[in-house]
């Protein structure tokens, strides 16, 4: 059963990790692709700007009169006109000068066709004799005083851009899978953390169901035994009476257990606002104290109560809070042998209102103290069963107090007695 639970949780954890990796991975890949294309655009933009600057310098040389004076241009002179070193001078694969009628006038580098057939502007081209080398070509008209004096076409190798982009591609090719592995590991780790509370509450629920069914099975068996005993022939009316009385008693105890279980299941979580009332704690606790004083006296216990002089107004669900205090008082009376003392005290402690139930009973061993608020937990199963406890009273009390924003603290010394304190926050909602 446990291994089945583990398999289910591991599968859910894997699924969580997978979905996390998928979603984070797709974000990462999209981001990487966008980054790559932005870099391509950026690099090409810088390259085009430099190519354009070079072409402007070349065209300026022509505009400066070279063309008018010589009526033809020597392109060998153009890229280093005026002795200026052009940024592209050694990467320019070719440069061509065309007349306004698009007839070739002069060129440098690869031999072009006699007429200018290319579109104006930037183009990325590949030469047929150098298929792996991409060129960026710029063709633009050159004007002087508003008059078209020719066309300039230059091309430079895109190798530097390619190199930069290749480094980026390499970085992404190595980096993205590495980041994906980190993401999937993180997903697995986070999946584990996310599943932990679900796993714990599932195991708790399983334990609770197992305990509850065990608790119900015992009285059911007792009912069945009593019924069978009462039906044995020849029927003895006296024995039948005893059997029926036993069945009635056990059924009553089962009814209490079922209502306790229902209570725990229904009242889990927050309180409903309409059930909250402003009560005077002292007035409200006095009848409960009187009730338990009576019970304590019957058991031969000394019962005392101490309340503050002033009234303590608190916003609580009175029925639930009564149940919580009653569970503590009932424990104190139950686990204190006759001749002992039980004391109910209410006092204010900084921002808390404390309802303390103190007894001089058998006490709780230190090792059991952290567990007494767990459902079905009993310090000594045999002893508690003799005294009729299910091990639910403190769990119910804690659930009620926590729903009110408070806490229960237990202190005890084995053989000397125990003190259980309900601490309720004394906020602006509450007034003295
Ligand atoms: P139930 O309250 O459901 O009838 P219970 O009294 O056994 O049964 P809890 O009230 O939850 O269950 O208490 C859990 C256990 O803590 C008890 O079984 C008992 O062993 C121990 N305990 C609680 N209060 C005291 C106390 N005042 N003195 C000694 N032991 C206590
Ligand atoms: Mg109890």
**Which residue among 296, 335, 380 is best mutated to probe the pocket of ligand 1, counting the most ligand atoms within 8 A of its Cβ?**
335
**Ligand 1, atom nearest to 388 Cα:** 4
pLDDT at 417 over 90: yes
From the CA of 396, which ligand is nearest? 1
Residues with CB under 5 A from ligand 2 (ion): 331, 393
159-164, long-range: CB < 8 A, 24+ apart: 159/91, 159/133, 160/47, 160/91, 161/43, 161/44, 161/47, 161/136, 162/134, 164/39, 164/43
3-state secondary structure string across the chain? CHHHHHHHHHHHHHHHHHHHHHHHHHHHHHHHHHHHHHHHHHHHHHHHHHHHHHHHHHHHHHHHHHHHHHCCCCCCCHHHHHHCCCCCCCCEEEEEEECCCCEEEEEEECCCCCECCCCCEEEEEEECCEEEEEEEEEEEEEEECCEEEEEEEEEEECHHHHHHHHHHHHHHHHHHHHHHHHHHHHHHHHHHHHHHHHHHHHHHHHHHHHHHHHHHHHHHHHHHHHHHHHCCCCCCHHHHHHHHHHHHHHHHHHHHHHHHHHHHHHCCCCCCHHHCEEEEHHHHHHHHHHHHHHHHHHCCCEEEEECCCCCCEEEECHHHHHHHHHHHHHHHHHCCCCCCEEEEEEEEECCEEEEEEEECCCCCCCCCHHHCCCCCCCCCHHHHHHHCCCCCHHHHHHHHHHHCCCEEEEEEECCCEEEEEEEEECCCCCEC
Regarding predicted confidence, which is higher, 65 or 398? 398
Is the separation of the CB atoms in 86 and 95 below 8 Å? no
Q: How far is the CA of 394 from the centre of ligand 1 (A)?
A: 7
Residue 275 tokens read as 């059930």
Encode pLDDT of 147-161 as tens digits.
Answer: 888 899 999 989 889
Q: Could you give the domains of the chain? A: 2-164 (3.30.450.20), 273-425 (3.30.565.10)
> Whats the size of the chain, residue-wise?
432
pLDDT at 38 over 70: yes
**Which residue among 303, 327, 331, 399 is best mutated to probe the pocket of ligand 1, counting the most ligand atoms within 8 A of its Cβ?**
331
Range name among 12-26, 357-371, 379-393 with the lowest pLDDT average: 379-393
Confidence (pTM): 0.57
Q: How far is the CA of 377 from the centre of ligand 1 (A)?
A: 8
Is the separation of the CB atoms in 425 and 413 below 8 Å? no
pLDDT at 80 over 50: no
pLDDT at residue 305, as a whole number? 95
Side-chain-side CA neighbours of residue 292 (13 Å): 26
Which residues contact residue 186 at a Cβ distance below 8 angstroms, ignoring those fewer than 6 apart?
20
**Of 151, 81, 89, residue with least CA distance to 121:** 151
**Which residue among 332, 393, 412, 414 is best mutated to probe the pocket of ligand 1, counting the most ligand atoms within 8 A of its Cβ?**
393
**How would you classify the pairing of strands 302-306 and 341-349?**
parallel
pLDDT at 94 over 60: yes
Encode pLDDT of 214-234 as tens digits.
Answer: 778 878 988 998 998 888 888
pLDDT at residue 73, as a whole number? 42
Sign of CA dihedral 106, 118, 127, 170: positive
Residue with the nearest Cα to atom 15 of ligand 1?
A: 378
pLDDT at residue 269, as a whole number? 59
Q: How far is the CA of 419 from the centre of ligand 1 (A)?
A: 12
From the CA of 256, which ligand is nearest? 1
Cα maximum dimension of the chain: 144
Cα angle for residues 394, 398, 402 (degrees, 5° grid): 175
**Ligand 1, atom nearest to 389 Cα:** 8
Q: How far is the CA of 395 from the centre of ligand 2 (A)?
A: 9
Residue with the nearest Cα to atom 4 of ligand 1?
A: 389
**Which residue among 343, 372, 409 is best mutated to probe the pocket of ligand 1, counting the most ligand atoms within 8 A of its Cβ?**
372
Ligand 1 binding residues, C-beta < 6 A: 327, 331-332, 335, 359, 361-364, 372, 377-379, 384, 389-395, 418
Side-chain-side CA neighbours of residue 387 (13 Å): 17
**Ligand 1, atom nearest to 332 Cα:** 27
Q: How far is the CA of 386 from the centre of ligand 2 (A)?
A: 13
pLDDT at 173 over 50: yes
Residue with the nearest Cα to atom 17 of ligand 1?
A: 378
């Amino acid at each position: 059963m446990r291994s089945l639970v583990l398999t289910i949780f591991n599968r859910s954890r894997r699924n969580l990790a997978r979905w996390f990796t998928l979603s984070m991975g797709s974000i990462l890949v999209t981001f990487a692709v966008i980054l790559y294309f932005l870099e391509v655009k950026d690099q090409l933009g810088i390259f085009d700007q430099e190519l354009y600057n070079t072409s402007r310098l070349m065209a300026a040389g022509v505009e400066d009169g070279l063309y008018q004076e010589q009526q033809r241009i020597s392109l060998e002179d153009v890229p280093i006109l005026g002795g200026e070193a052009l940024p592209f001078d050694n990467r320019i694969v070719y440069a061509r000068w065309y007349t306004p009628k698009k007839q070739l006038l002069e060129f440098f580098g690869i031999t072009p066709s006699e007429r200018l057939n290319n579109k104006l502007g930037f183009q990325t081209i590949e030469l047929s004799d150098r298929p792996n080398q991409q060129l960026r070509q710029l063709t633009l008209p050159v004007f002087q005083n508003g008059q078209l004096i020719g066309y300039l076409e230059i091309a430079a190798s895109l190798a530097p851009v390619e190199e930069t982009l290749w480094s980026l591609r390499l970085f992404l090719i190595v980096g993205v899978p590495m980041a994906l592995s980190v993401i999937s590991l993180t997903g697995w780790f986070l999946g584990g953390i996310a599943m932990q509370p679900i796993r714990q509450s599932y195991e708790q629920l399983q334990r609770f169901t197992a305990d509850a069914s065990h608790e119900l099975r015992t009285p059911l068996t007792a009912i069945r035994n009593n019924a069978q005993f009462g039906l044995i022939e020849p029927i003895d009316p006296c024995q039948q009476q005893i059997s029926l009385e036993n069945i009635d008693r056990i059924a009553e105890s089962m009814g209490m257990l079922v209502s306790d279980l229902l209570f725990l299941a229904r009242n889990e979580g927050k309180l409903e606002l309409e059930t909250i009332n402003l009560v005077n704690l002292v007035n409200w606790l006095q009848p409960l104290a009187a009730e338990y004083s009576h019970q304590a006296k019957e058991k031969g216990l000394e019962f005392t109560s101490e309340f503050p002089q002033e009234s303590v107004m608190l916003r609580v669900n009175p029925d639930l809070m009564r149940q919580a205090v009653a569970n503590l008082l009932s424990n104190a009376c139950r686990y204190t042998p006759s001749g002992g003392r039980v004391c109910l005290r209410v006092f204010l402690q900084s921002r808390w209102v404390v309802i303390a139930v103190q007894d001089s009973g058998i006490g709780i061993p230190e090792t059991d103290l952290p567990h007494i608020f767990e459902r079905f937990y009993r310090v000594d199963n045999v002893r508690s069963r003799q005294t009729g406890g299910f091990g639910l009273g403190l769990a119910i009390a804690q659930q009620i107090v926590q729903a009110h924003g408070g806490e229960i603290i237990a202190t005890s010394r084995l053989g000397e007695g125990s003190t259980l304190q309900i601490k309720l926050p004394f906020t602006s909602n509450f007034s003295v």
